[in-house]
Structure 1
Amino acid sequence: MSQPSVGRGSVLTLLLLSSMTVMAGATISPTLPSIGKVFADTPRSDLLVRLVLTLPALFTAIGAPIAGGIIDRFGRRPLLFGVIVLYALAGGSGLFARDLSELLIGRAGLGLAVGGILTTATTLIADYFGGDERSKVLAWQSAFMGIGGVGFVTLGGFLTDVSWRAPFSVYLLALVYLPLVALFLPEPRRSGTGEQVDDGRESATGPDGSSEALTSSGATASSAMVPRRVLGLVYALGFLGMIVFFALPVQLPFHLQAIDDVPATKVGLALATMTAVAACTSLAYPKLRTRLSFPAIFGVQFLLQGAGYLLLGSAPSYTGAFPGLVIAGAGAGLLVPNVQLWTSRLAPAELRGRVLGGLGLCLFLGQFLSPMVTQPLATSRGYGGMYGSLASFLLAFSALFILGSIVRKNRRPR
């Protein structure tokens, strides 16, 4: 596929757009306890307040595959302009919401916008770049999302100390990105031939040699095949990974206040530390990818997250929680670039928006369901016990993936 030339302005614009997905949750994470106090008299406020953070993920999961179908059919830019405006209006509605119901309606609209933005931005990266360059830009994307998370979480903590509504004003900054999209993101040229499906170091048909595939109507088998089993595995790993990861931004503010009563500013600093470490790990992903297969990287990710959660669950104080946050953050930084690169390698050009939209559905559905999985654990075992239970799950998965990768490597002809 011949594409228009793109430069640094295009890359920077794509990275800025990607950071908007983190802004959706990170900005208000430190203010959750304050929102809980304001609406304490609302029935089931404990769950509803947590949904303020995670409800956008449900609507992102709904919006991402729809956005993928739209951009495959009508192009990338038209949808992108619309969802940026929706993002600013829906996100900023928290400045005026009178109750939790109105707050949650605005968060639902924000989620639809995020689904369109992330799917389109990631698809454009796959459109504009290929091979090692694509791996590098996807790693930059994850790192930039992490760096943005540091800034937005920290800013959210400071603004929360002013007013619980103040963090919602940050969403209005999205309107600044409209001229950047107009200037630096040309519409990709589209052809009917697509690209060869390739998953990098693993066979696109999977370890068992299965060639069961999805095909687009009228597309050639060589260019439009998407292996169901491998893609299903990647989707499932992204889904589970986000459930486990979001135990940090959803439950950490309450865990820290339970073990060592701290202000929102310090909660924001703790979350910012974790996201900064995750950003650094994302930057190291391309080099790690040259040495390890996709499944082996998942093994490393689960190992680091499991060890981090184990330390976090037993932390006696605010300061004592930081070693666990750093180690867990190092693992978390590998999740998004690994699933995105693997998925983009499996997707032919003519199905790229839909396949990556499906990944977005799985990632954000996991994000939405995270409090529904972790809150019962926190209620029955306490926050420390919840993190300990998740650590056991992660370490078991790590052993499975690492041992599987070793066995598969030893079976290869020398």
Structure 2
Amino acid sequence: MSSDRDRRVLRNGDLRIIFGVTLVSVIGVTSIAPALPLIAKDLALSEGRVVSLITVFTLPGIFFSPLMGMLADRFGRKRVIVPSLFLFGIAGTACAFIDNFGLLLALRFINGIGAAALGALNQTVIGDMFKGQERTNALGYNASVLGVGTMAYPAIGGALALLGWRYPFFLSALALPMALAVMCRLRNPEPADPVRMKSYLSKSLRSIMNGGMATSYWATFSIFVILYGALLSYFPFLMSNRFGATPSTIGLFVAAASLTTIVGAFNLGRISRRFGSRRIIIASFLMYAVSTLAIILIDSMVLMLVPILLFGFAGGIAIPVIQTRLSGGIDMEYRGMFMSINSMVLRMGQTAGPFLAGLAYEGWGMKGVWYSAAIFSLASFIVLALVLRD
């Protein structure tokens, strides 16, 4: 019976369109990360400064994600997703034609405004379309698709960077046909009658302060501090400096993490039925602690694959479980706001991660980045083990 349910979810044509939005939502960082060393060299930038191309992209999500969620609850999901895709595609592609680093940062900021809604409203629409175990399965499949993107884009971005650092930015143009597909083909349920603004804000605030919601938001924040601070920002430099790895090799290693993300997320339905959401989330942070510590200690490029694969699996099982806990705990009329707050917290993690890792790098070098990530992962494991409830 569960296999029939899984097939029914996967055959849903509207879900496949949302998968396309998900694939677009992860272009902005994963395809650019392998090119960071080349950008630093060509524009005569320090490692710490070139990482700001990631920070300035994720920063708008902190401020714009809740606004986008509220607009989606008030006016409909598609009316927010479509213009966001157009903005993302135009600003991201324009980066390929820029030589001035200040202007490049400005375009990346605009690119990030377009991205602010995508990673939250794709999950919101899935939450609207499915219920119960089907929702868990659909969000797991969506995380698998996200894993495909984060696996493919670093490899594609690394290969394109061999032609020049500008070429990975052209991948943002994929958002333009996706915008047309959402506008013309997506048939999703929309909130029928918007709740009065005062009641909407009041209930949203009360629910946000709920202990279960706050703990889930903390888990999201912590995961993306680790992911963006260590793996996506400083792993390319570690591989380049320690092993002389090329951008394409770096991209393949980052892509390897996504392979186990896909495996974990695709099998999430069975894993969650056996272990439950609480144990999955807590165990994932122990995996992060072990993998980040191993990455800095291993001096073999081949053996480096082991912690990278463990790192990816942790995200594959934890992220969609958190999304399911949030999406299932709120009515449709408020879901856009709640999933967008999760996206805001995610963006805070993406923004804080490179900044905090940069402080560790300036103070203690490359080892400081990875030891700090391991300590932070272990601390999050302990906190969540104490406060997270089923």
TM-score (norm 2): 0.90
2-structure distance, mates of 1:135, 1:382: 41
Q: Does 2:269 correspond to 1:268?
A: no
CA contact (8 A) 1:119 1:353 kept: yes
Bigger helix fraction: 2
The separation in 1 between residues aligned to 2:259 and 2:14, in whole angstroms, is 24
SS in 2 for 1:350: helix
Per-residue deviation, residues 261-283 of structure 1 (Å, max 9, x unmatched) = 11111000110001111121111
Task: List gaps (5 residues or longer) in structure 1.
Answer: 195-214, 410-414
**Cα distance in 2, alignment partners of residues 6 and 227 from structure 1:** 31
Shift of 1:133: 0.7
The 3 A distance-change label for structure 1 pair 224 and 241 is closer
Residue of structure 1 aligned with 2:235, choices 217, 228, 252: 252
Worse-matched range after superposition: 269-278 or 320-329: 320-329
Secondary structure in 1 matching 2:300 = coil
Aligned residues: 379
Distance 2:75 2:345 in 1: 24
Preserved contact between residue 53 and residue 108 of structure 2 (Cα < 8 Å):
yes
Closer, same or farther: CA 290–347 of 1 in aligned 2, 3 Å: same
- Aligned positions of 1:174-323 closer than 5 A: 174-191=175-192, 217-218=198-199, 226=207, 228=209, 229-246=211-228, 247-323=230-306
Conserved? CA contact 1:67–1:115, under 8 Å: yes
Q: Equivalences for 1:150-189 in 2 at 5 Å?
A: 150-189=151-190
Distance 2:240 2:253 in 1: 12
Query: Taking structure 1 as reference, are residues 80 and 192 closer, same or farther at Cα in structure 2, changes over 3 Å only?
Result: closer
Match of 1:23 among 22, 27, 30: 27
**Cα distance in 1 between the residues matched to 2:192 and 2:199:** 13
Say whether 1:368 aligns with 2:351: yes
- Deviation at 1:116? 1.7
Match for residue 329 of structure 1 among 302, 312, 320: 312
Q: CA deviation at 1:48?
A: 2.7
Structure 2: how far apart are the matches of 1:119 and 1:193?
19
Match of 1:203 in 2: none
Change beyond 3 A, Cα 1:224–1:351: farther
Q: How far is 1:46 from its partner? A: 3.0
CA distance in 2, matches of 1:293, 1:82: 37
CA RMSD between the two structures = 2.5
Q: What's the offset of the Cα at 1:145?
A: 0.6
User: Partner residue of 1:14?
Assistant: 18
Alignment partners' CA distance in 1, 2:149 and 2:74: 31
Give SS of 1:98's match. coil
In 2, distance between residues paired with 1:100 and 1:338?
39
Instruction: Give yes or no for the alignment of 1:133 onto 2:134.
Output: yes
2:72 is equivalent to residue 91 of structure 1: no
Range 29-38 or range 298-307, more displaced:
298-307
**1:334 Cα deviation from its structure 2 partner:** 2.5
Whole-Å separation in 2 of the counterparts to 1:369 and 1:227: 21
**1:239 aligned partner, one-letter code:** F
> How far did residue 225 of structure 1 move?
6.7
Deviation digits for residues 264-305 of structure 1 (CA, Å, limit 9, x no counterpart)? 110001100011111211112222222334332221101111
> What CA distance in whole angstroms lies between the structure 2 residues aligned with 1:105 and 1:224?
32
1:47-126 to structure 2, matched below 5 A, reads: 47-126=48-127
Whichever residue aligns with residue 300 of structure 2, its letter is S
Counterpart CA distance in 2 for 1:193 and 1:165 is 44
Q: Secondary structure at the match of 1:333?
A: helix
Tell me the amino acid that sits aligned with residue 124 of structure 2.
Answer: T
Report the alpha carbon displacement of residue 114 of structure 1 after superposing the two structures with TM. 1.0
Aligned-residue offset at 1:230 = 1.8
After TM superposition, the structure 1 stretch with the greater mean CA deviation from structure 2, 82-91 or 383-392, is 383-392
CA displacement at 1:237 relative to structure 2: 1.7
Matches of 1:140 and 1:95, distance apart in 2: 32
**Could you give the per-residue CA deviations for residues 319-368 of structure 1, whole angstroms, max 9, x where no partner exists?**
23211111111112223212211111222211111111111100011101
C-alpha distance in structure 1 between counterparts of 2:56 and 2:344, whole Å? 13
Could you tell me how far 1:178 is from its partner in structure 2?
Answer: 2.6
Contact 2:82 2:180 in 1 (8 A): no
Deviations 1:354-399 (A, max 9, x none): 1111111000111011111111212333323421232233234335
Provide the TM-score with structure 1 as the length reference.
Answer: 0.85
Q: Tell me, yes or no, if the aligned pair for 1:65 and 1:361 is still in contact at 8 Å.
A: yes
State the distance in 1 between where 2:241 and 2:204 align: 54
Compare 15-24 and 287-296 and name the one that shifted more.
287-296
Determine if contact 1:241/1:366 at 8 Å carries over to the other structure.
yes
Distance in structure 2 (CA, Å) of the matches to 1:365 and 1:136: 27
Distance in 2 between residues matched to 1:167 and 1:323, nearest whole Å: 27
8 Å CA contact 2:239–2:250 kept in 1: the answer is yes
Confirm or deny: 8 A CA contact 1:300 1:402 kept in the other structure: no
Alignment CA distance shift 1:257-1:288 (3 Å) = same
**Does the Cα contact within 8 Å between 1:6 and 1:184 map onto a contact in 2?**
no
| Unaligned segments of structure 2, at least 5 residues | 1-8
CA distance in 2, matches of 1:231, 1:330: 24
Larger Rg: 1
Query: For residues 126 and 225 of structure 1, do their structure 2 counterparts lie closer, same or farther at Cα, with a shift above 3 Å needed?
Result: farther
Percent of aligned pairs with the same residue? 23
